Amino acid sequence: IDAEAQSVLDAIEENDVDFLRIQFTDILGTVKNVSIPASQAEKAFTEGIYFDGSSIEGFVRIQESDMRLKPDPNTFAILPWKTREDGTVSARLIADVMDASGSNFAGDPRHVLKRALKKAGNMGYTLNAGPEPEFFLFEEEDGRATTITHDAGGYFDLAPKDLASDVRRDIIYGLEQMGFEVEASHHEVAEGQHEIDFKYDDGLTTADNIATFRAVVRAIAAEHELHSTFMPKPIAGINGSGMHTHLSLFTEDGENAFHDADDEFNLSETADQFLAGILEHAPAITAVCNPTVNSYKRLVSGYEAPVYVAWSDVNRSALIRKPAARTPAASRIELRSPDPSCNPYLALAVMLQAGIDGIERGLTAPDPVRENIYEFDETAREEYGIDTLPANLGEAIDVLETDEVILDALGDHIAEKFIEAKRAEFDDYRAAVSEWELDQYLETF
Ligand code: ADP
Ligand code: MG
Ligand code: MG
Ligand code: MG
Ligand code: MG
């Protein structure tokens, strides 16, 4: 047993941990759990934990169902809300998924991200990523979620209007107990909508953190008898929930490769190429960063969400923004399309691979768009050469299928399963008859 695993065993001992939840994420981003008594921890590290992969969405067929979970000792954390509940102490470990032959399983999203990170590593870069996840808190009725907002606060409102600040405070405590560095939290623009920003970290840690974040928010909200949702657009007519993602590449000696003091935006040529790569692959990565039918109800004009493929230094309607950086370490770009329903591992993997492609091909970014793009008509957009993001999940899957770089980033197994699952989801949606249609047509025709 290695030193890292040993330190986890020590921590289990010290904290009287009773149960370990071994977690991994399926292709659609759902966190799966296997619970083991703490006494089995050593064996989990030496032998792994066997499970039947055929029962996991998008994993494997019956004949190849012998899968093994290999816990990553770096991800040990005590689950604060579990511990409060009934006196027993539970901790979690995030695992890599191995196939029957003992190799990393091609359908493990965490492995897809690791592959992208390794590619960046071979070029001498570490990815840093900082997300800004937004979510709604709704009231529950008879144990079921409603869309009744918990408060009527607005952007940066303070109590007493912001009733949810208690919940947010408890969420932040929970996150801090799990090792997060929370940088900011505020009420968002819409009623009942919130944002909690935590400090950027390397890509793998950030993806793990996003998965953890969603679990913490859900659990703590439930303690307050509220339903939290990361659904991108739960209420028509008000802002949806996004997950802007800040990205930069650091070199091996910890320098920010995106920083250039001589540049107007303090951004280097590498940053520019990376940005250009993301712009080029933006339509194809949308399926991954905005993977639900509902995601596209957020990506419409007028609600601070991006619709057009352009970047800006001043404009918050653009797909990519160059935020003002106060220190060299803070030089970064911000991708504003992702939403919190995405699989964080796959989302970061495709963003990174798109950026890397830009660096490898030495792409140059177009000029920034400083006007309000929402107000552009088609001619103006053509003049600027501005593409639009896919309008719905069906279109998003169509463009994903044409982008070899992004398909490669996902790998054959995940690309195939993802596209299959998302096509089925979209077909199902197309066949459904909505409230809107009944309102429009039932009495008209
Ligand atoms: P906004 O101005 O869009 O609201 P915030 O200031 O709320 O942005 O969020 C900034 C995010 O960017 C945080 O998660 C922060 O840790 C992260 N960040 C800061 N510097 C970097 C960097 N060099 N690389 C990646 N992320 C960074
Ligand atoms: Mg923010
Ligand atoms: Mg901010
Ligand atoms: Mg926000
Ligand atoms: Mg932002």
The ligand placed nearest to the CA atom of residue 336 is 5
pLDDT band at 102 (very low <50, low <70, confident <90, very high): confident
Q: How far is CA 225 from CA 16, 222, 228, in A?
A: 29, 5, 10
- The residue from 151, 188, 260, 272 that is catalytic is 188
pLDDT, tens digit (0-9, with 9 covering 90-100), for 263-283: 988 999 999 999 999 999 999
Single pTM value for the model: 0.95
pLDDT of residue 143: 81
Residue 410 C-alpha to ligand 4 middle, in angstroms? 28
Read out DSSP for 238-285?
Answer: S----EEEEEEEEETTS-BTTB-TTSTTSB-HHHHHHHHHHHHHHHHH
Residue 426: is its pLDDT beyond 70?
yes
Distance from C-alpha of 306 to C-alpha of 281, rounded to nearest angstrom: 15
**Range with lowest mean pLDDT among 60-69, 103-112, 235-244, 251-260:** 60-69
Mean pLDDT of 102-107: 91
Mean pLDDT of 339-360: 98
pLDDT of residue 68: 92
Q: Point out the ligand 1 atom lying closest to the alpha carbon of residue 329.
A: 23
* Max mean pLDDT range (43-47, 163-167, 300-304): 43-47
Residue 66: is its pLDDT beyond 80?
no
* Ligand 1 lining (C-beta closer than 6 Å): 128-130, 132, 183-184, 197, 199-200, 244, 246-248, 256, 323, 329-330, 332, 334
Instruction: Mark whether 52 is an active-site residue.
Output: yes
Structure tokens given for 122: 């071979």
pLDDT of residue 153: 58
pLDDT of residue 157: 55
Distance from C-alpha of 170 to C-alpha of 165, rounded to nearest angstrom: 9
Say which residue, 336 or 66, is predicted with more confidence.
336
**Range with lowest mean pLDDT among 34-43, 269-278, 373-382:** 373-382
Q: Point out the ligand 1 atom lying closest to the alpha carbon of residue 321.
A: 3
pLDDT band at 13 (very low <50, low <70, confident <90, very high): very high
Distance from C-alpha of 346 to C-alpha of 116, rounded to nearest angstrom: 10
Mean pLDDT of 313-321: 83
Kindly report the average pLDDT of the chain as a whole number: 91
Tokens 């540049």 map to which residue?
263
Residue 311 C-alpha to ligand 3 middle, in angstroms? 18
Instruction: Mark whether 111 is an active-site residue.
Output: no
Mutate to test the pocket of ligand 1, among 127, 132, 205 (most ligand atoms within 8 A of CB): 132
CB distance 111 to 105 below 8 Å: yes
Instruction: Mark whether 132 is an active-site residue.
Output: yes
* DSSP SS3 for 390: coil
pLDDT band at 315 (very low <50, low <70, confident <90, very high): confident
Provide ipTM, 2 decimals.
Answer: 0.95
pLDDT, tens digit (0-9, with 9 covering 90-100), for 386-396: 889 999 999 99
* Other Cβ atoms within 10 Å of 199 Cβ, number: 13
Residue 244 C-alpha to ligand 5 middle, in angstroms? 5
pLDDT of residue 163: 60
CB distance 243 to 234 below 8 Å: no
Dihedral angle computed from the Cα positions of residues 427, 429, 430 and 434, in that order, rounded to the nearest 10 degrees: 170
pLDDT, tens digit (0-9, with 9 covering 90-100), for 214-232: 999 999 999 888 999 999 9
CB distance 214 to 127 below 8 Å: no
